[in-house]
Amino acid sequence: MSEFLQFFLTGVTTGAIYGLIALGFNVLYNATDLINFAQGEWVMLGGLGFYTLSVALGWPLVAAFAIAVVLVAVLGLCLERIALRPVKKPEPITLIIITVGASIFLRGVAMRLWGKDPYSVPALTASVKPVRVLGAALMPQSLWILGIVVALMTGLHLFAKRTLSGKAMEACAIHRHAAWILGIPSERMVLLAFGLSAALGAVGGVIIAPITMCSYDMGTMLGLKGFCAAMLGGLGSHWGAALGGVVLGVLESLGVGYFSSGIKDAIAFLVLLIILMVRPSGLLGASAVKRF
């Protein structure tokens, strides 16, 4: 029993991260119909940026956290401005390929800046003593991760449903041209979505870095897992992203625990394939979601 609980808690923690990355995909998808394959790179830059500010420069953790996220958000804005907006014929496939290119570029730059070695960053709370839950161990950092992810989920939900900007963003997602005719500055909304999704990725990077360490190449796999989680939960649905992430994380952890350690990454892609075949709209997604 305690073994199962351990697998489960581990799965929920990693799953929360996948959910957060999936949320980043969703925010952008909701505003622009675009899947940003550089989403994992925001996670990597968040983690490495946090390392540089907190460990290398010795800033207080909170300041390093905030500035790292802001910097990555600014990079997100730059990506939209420099690489995506100037595209003459913004077909979805063209834009997606641009984001793939951006992800390779960002990884290369990070390798130049930080080198190939992984870096370790401190946990948000100093204690390394785990909390005991029925014989299973839960790290304080896992509680931080769960707490921050839940807070961000709630915040985003309120932002989308209760604020004018959030509603304007959704309007852009439904029909950008119509929204523009109605006086919504759709280009600014797109820019906002880019910054927001980059910031979400960066938060993910900062909060997982103490557990997993960070290196220039951590983004690819995390990005793909986040994408699986988003598809699993249903593209565009925030709660779906969270659910998809947790389901994926727990499935992986149980797979390693009860079957074999070798199949961990295969599980994510198997789940993705099954979902695309059986229920393309995902668990909580609207059935009208388009497929690329």
Partner 1 sequence: MECRARPWVSWMAAAAVMLGCMVGPKGLWGAEPYKIGGVFSITGSSSFLGDPEKKSLEMAVEEINAQGGIDGRPVEAVIYDTEGDPTKAVLAVNKLISKDNVLAIIGPSLTPTTLAVMPIVERVQVPLISCAAGIQIVEPVKPYVFKTAQSDVLAVATIYKHMHKHGIKKIGILSVTNAFGVSGRDQLVKQAPEYGIKIVKEEAYGANDTDMTAQLTKIKGQNPDAVVCWGTNPGPAVVAKNMRQLGLTFALYQSHGVASPKFIELAGEAAEGIRLPTGKILVADLLPASDPQKAVLTRYIAEYTKRYGGGVSGFGGYAYDAMHMLAKALKGTGGDKAKIRDNLEKISGHVGITGVFTMTAQDHNGLGPDAFVMVEIRNGTWKLLD
| Rg of the chain over all Cα atoms, to the nearest angstrom | 19
Q: Which is nearer to partner 1, 86 or 262 (CB)?
A: 262
Query: Nearest approach, Cβ of 279 to partner 1 (angstroms)?
Result: 27
Using DSSP, state whether 119 is helix, strand or coil. strand
Query: Nearest approach, Cβ of 158 to partner 1 (angstroms)?
Result: 31
Cβ neighbourhood burial of 107 (10 Å; 0-12, 13-18, 19+): buried
Q: Which is nearer to partner 1, 130 or 147 (CB)?
A: 130
Query: Nearest approach, Cβ of 225 to partner 1 (angstroms)?
Result: 10
Please give the residue ranges that form the binding site for partner 1 (CB under 8 A).
Answer: 3, 6-7, 10, 13-14, 116-120, 128, 130, 137, 139, 208, 211-213, 215, 217-218, 221, 253, 256-257, 260-262, 264-265
Q: Which is nearer to partner 1, 93 or 126 (CB)?
A: 126
DSSP category for residue 85: T
Q: Are 204 and 23 in contact (CB under 8 A)?
A: no
Q: Which is nearer to partner 1, 43 or 173 (CB)?
A: 43
Q: Which is nearer to partner 1, 84 or 136 (CB)?
A: 136
Query: Nearest approach, Cβ of 21 to partner 1 (angstroms)?
Result: 13
Q: Are 216 and 114 in contact (CB under 8 A)?
A: yes
Helix (H) or strand (E) holding 138: strand 136-138
Query: Nearest approach, Cβ of 69 to partner 1 (angstroms)?
Result: 20
DSSP category for residue 131: E
**Rounded CA separation 227/246 (Å):** 13
